[in-house]
Structure 1
Amino acid sequence: MLNYVKELIELEYMCEIDGINNILIKDEEEFDEIVNESMKENIRLFVSSDIFASKEQQLILEQKNIKKIEIPEYYYRSELREVGEL
């Protein structure tokens, strides 16, 4: 499923998910790791709607000018229905 989401993000945002400047975050653990340990600034993080940033993390994102973009649920709505999440 994430492979298709990656392609949809790349098309909609006209970018390449390269893991350097545009990063697709798969889970909260990965989000925590990138926000707390990343020294890179001016990047975009594409995250699912169930990943939330704490106040501390939000401050870090703002200081480093990191843009957190929520992946629209319509990208994977049918899969969510299949597993009973919708």
Structure 2
Amino acid sequence: MTLTELKHLYATQELVEAVVEPSIGDGYIVEFRHRRGGLVPLTDGAGSERCYSDIDSATQQAFEVGFHQVRIADEY
């Protein structure tokens, strides 16, 4: 989901947690736990998962959605 779509889900209290984890390639991805279960990844407009070069950049995206706390996962 795009940043705008995720902001809407956060505003309607559908997202309960933000998680930054290592990407399969190089970098980090941001995912959000939905209140009904499952993870929703941050994607671009084409639906591709966004990948960030460092934890700080990825964490900033979770803050943009509205979260004040982000869990950092250190393993796949």
Question: Of Structure 1 and Structure 2, which has the larger fraction of its residues in strand?
Answer: 2
**What interval of TM-score do these two structures reach, taking the shorter chain for normalisation?**
under 0.3
Structure number with larger C-alpha Rg: 1
The structure that is helix-richer by fraction is 1
